Structure 1
Amino acid sequence: MFSRKTHLAVAIAAACSFNHAVASEQEQLELDAQTVLGSSAAADVDSYKATSSSAATKLDLTPRQTPQSISTLSGAQLRDFKLTSVNDALKAVPGVQVQEVETDRTYYTARGFDITNFQYDGISVPFVYGNVEGDLDTAMYERVEVVRGANGLISGTGNPSATVNFVRKRPTAVPQARVDLTAGSWDKRRIDTDVSGALNDAGTVRGRVVYANENKNSYLDRYSREKNMFHGVLEFDLDDSTVFTLGHILQTSDANSPMWGALPLVYQDGGKTDYSRSTSTATDWAYWDNQENRTFAELAHTFDNGWQAKTVLTRVEKKSDGSMFYIYGTPNRETGAGLYSYPSEYNEKNKQLIVDVQASGPFSFAGRQHEAALGGSWSRSELEDRSWYDSTTGTMLPPLEDWSGDYAKPRNDNGSAGSDFTDRMKSAYGAARWSLTDDLSLITGARVIDVRSNGINYSLAKSSKNSGKVVPYAGVVYDLTEQYSLYASYTEIFEPQTKSDVSGSRLAPLEGVNYEAGIKGELFDDKVNVSLAVFRTEQDNFAEQAGVRGGVAYYRAIQGLTSEGYELEFSGEPLDGLQLSAGYTFVDITDADGGHAVTYSPKHMVKAAATYRVPGLEKLKVGAAVRWQDSIKTAVSLTADDGFTSIGTADAEQKAYAMVDLMASYDIDPNWSVSANLNNLTDEKYLSSLYWTQAYYGAPRNVSATLTWKY
């Protein structure tokens, strides 16, 4: 059932766990608090409640102390609902949309706008094309934090959507091990292993290894994918106050018969297409392999006065290689004509180097204690990619209902083009949390940014420079009572864009302002976080898709865009044994003329997940997750039977729909447990996204079962 890699991983995990068990029986480690810096002490806790985070301001604050909307996807929720991919995880976060435009390329949006900032343990990484290629795994993450709203203070740019911070698993002082074996629909086979503990008698050297392998077919015709993930970390206590950490992550995602582009959404007469959910535009020879290597070195020191300083060096190398097939045109409802071929091969290499230096701690002023954070970052991203073209492009294809993926492999005999460019960013920031009174705090800060690019992007010069741009930030929090706080925040928006216009030139930076205010509370003896936020964003140069050429989308800049809305969120344990995470989001986006804009983003979204340990049967846990959104639409250009002649436009629409997932788990004994998950209970048929003018259908009802051993 499992590959050789799977058997090897099981053997490694079993051996490591046995060695740790013997070591733990031989002696009891006596460790002070410094030896568990970054450890996952709460790895097996059920809690869905958000913890303290520095993701919003670089200051370690509770959600109630943070003057922005912040959500935490806990490790418990990741495990309960088997959210083993980044896409599945972010689908569960309130206010976030996962735009699966293709099987192996994804964009992310929040409050209607692109999320272009991922962080790893608070360190931002460049998003060269504003998307993710392949299927990223979550096995190495302890939790996922999402800060919604403009984020220029922490990310180097002021994107008005959200910042996603992935908190990686770190070594633990106490030995622990875990193995999960999963089998599911469409021949899904998965193994997760996680081993951690001290590597010497004194406990001053600790290590952790996480490995996951997943191999599965699909409900989509011809499509299958295998992915592997390795995460290894070592921690060294250099002295009582200094910790050096070295880690490496390797991820591979290899897809057979992936879709490049997706299904046409409308017929030439403007009516909506309605294909089988299994329909795919991919050929039987297509593939798309993605690999990412991420290495980091971190030196952290705690001073006697309570200040902490940290320097992090990160190196990333990404490779992408594919032979893919795109279908363009608009089908004729009666004859099926109007669809044409576009085969291509593609190769991409991206190397990134990131240096981040930061310090934070308390200070006294005017007889009161305050907090401050300051730091700087530097990054360089070098990208080379090339596309090869084929002389068979433009071959008329049969109707998709009759398409079997049978098409001659491309000869790549019609030339090639590509890119070779470098993006550089330098920034410095400072922030302070001023304790004005016992009940009132003020957070002020700013980041200074220098961004420049040079090189060639598909035969066009790619050169831009923005120097000395200052992005200010201000936030205020007032404690109404011991349970409730009022807050407000303001920041400017400055976001160099990755999207290009029809000529291939990158759009001008996104600019504007972001306002947010609300109330937050800690209820039920601090077991529950609640929040209500209202927000408004004003921006220029927003990227709106204007068309697709050669399988690549191009964009135009929209001026005078305004978004307003509110969010309600709840997370924690309101009753003994009941863990709950829920959120409602309303966003209304209008253009300069007052018309509804960004129509591919829903105005209303609801997301909720809950688990319950049954009284009297505490070994049994049951749960459910619900996602609902209202209708969305996008304008699609129509072409005649020749595939080129324009015959107008039509709206493609996805009506409101809900997804319901169920789970149950049972603890056989302290070491063994079993669980089962049922996804898309109602077998809802829905389009994965309307972010582009093509789309495919989401997965139908499916199941999986998992056997878990832990030590």
Structure 2
Amino acid sequence: MNKRYPVSPCRIAVSPAVLVPATLALACGGSLFSGVANADDAQLLPGIVVEATPGVATEDSNSYTTYHATVGSKQPVDLRDVPQTVNVITQQRLDDGGAHSLEEAAYLLPNITTTTGDGFSGSLYSRGHEVFTYNVDGAPRPYLSIYGTAPDMVFFDRVEVLSGPSGLFQGSGEPVGTINLVRKRAQAEFGLQGAVSYGSFDAKRGELDITGSFTDDGSVRGRAIVYALDEDSFVDVTGRERSGGSGTVEFDIGESTTLSIGGIIEEQDVLRHSGLPTYADGTLINFDRDTFLGAPWSQADYETGEGFIELEHTFSNGGVAKVMARQYDRDAHLKSALPSSAVDRVTGNFSMLGFAREFDESTQYLDANYTAPFSFFGNRSEFSVGADMRKTDQDMQQKFAILGAYNINNFDPDSIAEPVIDFDTPGPGWLDTTTETEEFGVYAVTRLGLTNRLKATIGARYADYDSDTVNNNTLVETSIDETEVIPFAGLSYDMSESATAYVSFSEIFQPQSEQEADGSQLEPVIGQQVELGVKAEFNGLNAQAAVYWLEDENRAEDDPNNPGAFLASGEADTTGFEASIGGEVMPGLDIVAGYAYVDTELESDPTSDHNVSLWAKYRFSGGDLNGLYIGGGVRYASSFDIESGGTRIEAPSYTVVDALVGYKVSRNVDVQLLVNNLFDEDYVERINQTSRGTFYGEPLNATLRLNATF
């Protein structure tokens, strides 16, 4: 069936690094925001949905679903036109779930699993594999929990998740999926939103978001967002402070071109912990949930900053050209005390290790692409072509300190003296590496309308990857130089006006920045996936289901004998099934539900085979209850296990219930109470090694939030 989508003036992106502080000053300062935008200049053209088009952005939609996404494409595309599983966490769902981080957002989907790493940040798993990359507006960046979390969700309109390989557009694409954070755009109409919240564990948070026009005609728009939080944890001693800000300015250059300039800066200080040990045979120890096995000097300090420029132009034929440039920098300073052995079942003794690391990273990313509609034997079709480049420089210094033996029965964090760690002298875990990575790629993909109902998606990427790592202590250099062609093919068939069946094949090629204990880089992940699924839209709901088979090798997994280091996995097969549904069931009632099953040969997968999530929210209208809304949900994970150093660790299944109640005090003011783990389920959320990495899930906790929008 031939579909038509509205197209509005575009954006592009071009340029080198951007000074984030200057961008923030420009977005927040200057003349006051003024005026209201002129009438929408949108025009009807086939094929492409531009980001500003209503129905793409989820902000102010009050909806749990959307029908378009940008993940898996260079321009927004109908979800049914992507022959892979795609889930979108909308702004409303993020708000109702109290999700301020990517890890918290992942709890809202059954096919993305969060495994906490220090009580505040964590690792993400999809289809049995750890996710090592995420995107911001399509620009990839590394994701390792040891170096902190992704940007705060306050800056983003939605989270898009494409399951399965994504090597066409995402550079060295993730074998198991792409998580794309889509930033909030500047609006021509003035808007002001502020929120404050207070919750369990003395959690305090405030945020402010202002947008509007610098000119009467709305051709120059800006947006500035700031936030700050300070919180403790249910685990003794631990806590964190985090703050950040973003600024964006958009310029309409004529009716068809938009230039966007912006950036994000953040900093975070965390008093972290590394989880709990098990007995030597892998048996879990019945700790109290607030047990802390670390030291008060276990600190992690992170600073991140990024700048971007985008230029986008819409042509009269409906085509869109876009150029984007980004600069991303981060520094991490880590020092902690962590368990380094299992607990002796008889004596209660275990060993402690001091771990210190300095990490600096700088990444430049440039992408230029063109997407346009065309007619193929009278059927609507489109193609995208483009090229991208990514260059990353990393410096890392590391060293350990032997802290000695302690007893689990009388452990005192204050008894651990802070060691002096000198990165310039030899010692345990001594490592000093410099890594330079360059990747260049060209790509092309077309969605052909073979008939009125049948579409074919065919594409390929040529990737040239070069990475050099130097161990500055030994002067040993390791290099990886790879070129690869990554194909993708899919067929979609519209069974009816509301349902589409599809099948897709994709190959996997993912270079890895993770290092082995000697500082050398891991070889790229290679493999393939086949997926078969169906998608449907009906009565305000989006639904999808898929089965898949995935084979890969060389996947990075934790080295149990060397904290912060990795080993390459062998070849492994993974099969699974995913299903989800979301949207408005009836006026006032919204739901999101899903189920994911995964069966993998990877022994390092610490996630459940079966995951279920269900959330529903009802908004009362009229009568004495007008303005009141209530919500509730349940998350279930089956028992799970992991093999560490030849020892198997097992954890039982768990079920967590959450609840929400809120009230619209006025058109502009809203107050809500979110209660997590309503029945105070005592459960283990993550297992990792016999020496450490066992984490309990949060106990009963609540957050009261006051939000005002003008």
Same fold at TM > 0.5: yes
Does the alignment pair 1:308 with 2:308?
no
- Tell me: CA distance 1:368–1:37, structure 2 relative to 1, closer, same or farther (3 Å): closer
Partner of 1:516: 531
- Partner of 1:119, secondary structure, is strand
Does the alignment pair 1:199 with 2:214?
yes
- Tell me: CA distance 1:454–1:470, structure 2 relative to 1, closer, same or farther (3 Å): same
Does the alignment pair 1:340 with 2:346?
no
Distance in 1, matches of 2:477 and 2:254, equals 48
Distance in 1, matches of 2:414 and 2:67, equals 49
Partner of 1:174: 189
Distance in 1, matches of 2:306 and 2:605, equals 36
Q: Is the 8 A contact 2:188 2:221 kept in 1?
A: yes
Cα deviation 1:419-445 (Å, max 9, x = unaligned): 111111111110101011111111110
Cα deviation 1:357-408 (Å, max 9, x = unaligned): 1110112344443201111110111011212444xx1422232653334321
Q: Is the 8 A contact 1:664 1:676 kept in 2?
A: yes
Partner of 1:431: 445
Distance in 2, matches of 1:458 and 1:184, equals 47
**AA in 1 matched with 2:342:** T
- Tell me: CA distance 1:598–1:455, structure 2 relative to 1, closer, same or farther (3 Å): closer
Displacement after TM superposition at 1:692 (Å): 4.6
Measured on the aligned residues, the alpha-carbon RMSD in Å equals: 2.4
Distance in 2, matches of 1:153 and 1:130, equals 25
Partner of 1:89: 105
Partner of 2:13: none
Does the alignment pair 1:631 with 2:639?
yes
Partner of 1:220: 235
Moved more, 281-290 or 31-40: 31-40
Distance in 2, matches of 1:576 and 1:176, equals 27
Partner of 1:373: 384
Displacement after TM superposition at 1:225 (Å): 0.4
Partner of 1:671: 668
Q: Is the 8 A contact 1:341 1:394 kept in 2?
A: yes
Aligned with 1:292 (options 297, 304, 325)? 304
Listed as ranges, the matches of 1:549-588 within 5 Å are 549=562, 551-559=563-571, 561-588=572-599
- Partner of 2:577, secondary structure, is strand
Distance in 1, matches of 2:521 and 2:414, equals 35
Distance in 1, matches of 2:456 and 2:281, equals 58
- Tell me: CA distance 1:650–1:126, structure 2 relative to 1, closer, same or farther (3 Å): closer
Displacement after TM superposition at 1:533 (Å): 0.6
**AA in 2 matched with 1:634:** I
Q: Is the 8 A contact 1:206 1:235 kept in 2?
A: yes
Does the alignment pair 1:619 with 2:632?
no
Does the alignment pair 1:662 with 2:653?
no
- Identity among equivalent pairs (%): 27
**AA in 2 matched with 1:110:** S
Does the alignment pair 1:111 with 2:127?
yes
Does the alignment pair 1:695 with 2:694?
yes
Q: Is the 8 A contact 1:134 1:254 kept in 2?
A: no
Distance in 1, matches of 2:449 and 2:282, equals 60
Q: Is the 8 A contact 1:662 1:679 kept in 2?
A: yes
Partner of 1:397: 406
Listed as ranges, the matches of 1:16-415 within 5 Å are 23-24=34-35, 29-33=37-41, 38=52, 42-103=58-119, 105-127=121-143, 132-134=147-149, 136-256=151-271, 258-259=272-273, 261-265=274-278, 267-268=279-280, 270-337=282-349, 339-390=350-401, 393-399=402-408, 401-412=410-421, 415=426
- Tell me: CA distance 1:636–1:542, structure 2 relative to 1, closer, same or farther (3 Å): closer
Distance in 1, matches of 2:150 and 2:489, equals 37
Distance in 2, matches of 1:67 and 1:323, equals 45
**AA in 2 matched with 1:605:** N
Distance in 1, matches of 2:150 and 2:238, equals 14
Q: Is the 8 A contact 1:106 1:132 kept in 2?
A: no
Q: Is the 8 A contact 1:140 1:168 kept in 2?
A: yes
- Tell me: CA distance 1:510–1:322, structure 2 relative to 1, closer, same or farther (3 Å): closer
Distance in 2, matches of 1:348 and 1:501, equals 16
- Tell me: CA distance 1:37–1:109, structure 2 relative to 1, closer, same or farther (3 Å): closer
- Partner of 1:273, secondary structure, is coil
Q: Is the 8 A contact 1:182 1:707 kept in 2?
A: yes
Q: Is the 8 A contact 1:115 1:159 kept in 2?
A: yes
Distance in 2, matches of 1:411 and 1:157, equals 39
Distance in 2, matches of 1:101 and 1:340, equals 20
Moved more, 158-167 or 381-390: 381-390
Instruction: Tell me the number of residue pairs that the alignment of Structure 1 and Structure 2 aligns.
Output: 665
**AA in 1 matched with 2:93:** Q
- Structure 1 spans left out of the alignment, 5+ residues: 1-11, 592-596, 638-648
- Partner of 1:78, secondary structure, is helix
Distance in 2, matches of 1:436 and 1:292, equals 47
Normalising to structure 1: TM-score of the pair?
0.89
Cα deviation 1:517-536 (Å, max 9, x = unaligned): 11111111xx1111111111
**AA in 2 matched with 1:537:** L
Q: Is the 8 A contact 1:117 1:155 kept in 2?
A: no
- Tell me: CA distance 1:383–1:702, structure 2 relative to 1, closer, same or farther (3 Å): same
Q: Is the 8 A contact 2:69 2:76 kept in 1?
A: yes
Displacement after TM superposition at 1:512 (Å): 1.4
Displacement after TM superposition at 1:189 (Å): 0.8
Does the alignment pair 1:540 with 2:581?
no
Displacement after TM superposition at 1:33 (Å): 2.9
Partner of 1:450: 464
- Tell me: CA distance 1:457–1:38, structure 2 relative to 1, closer, same or farther (3 Å): farther
Moved more, 505-514 or 72-81: 505-514
Moved more, 454-463 or 295-304: 454-463
Q: Is the 8 A contact 1:39 1:170 kept in 2?
A: no
Distance in 2, matches of 1:347 and 1:270, equals 32
- Partner of 1:558, secondary structure, is coil
Cα deviation 1:102-124 (Å, max 9, x = unaligned): 23552211000121231111222
Distance in 1, matches of 2:138 and 2:67, equals 15
- Partner of 2:685, secondary structure, is coil
**AA in 2 matched with 1:159:** E
Q: Is the 8 A contact 2:32 2:214 kept in 1?
A: no
- Partner of 2:561, secondary structure, is strand
Q: Is the 8 A contact 1:537 1:563 kept in 2?
A: yes
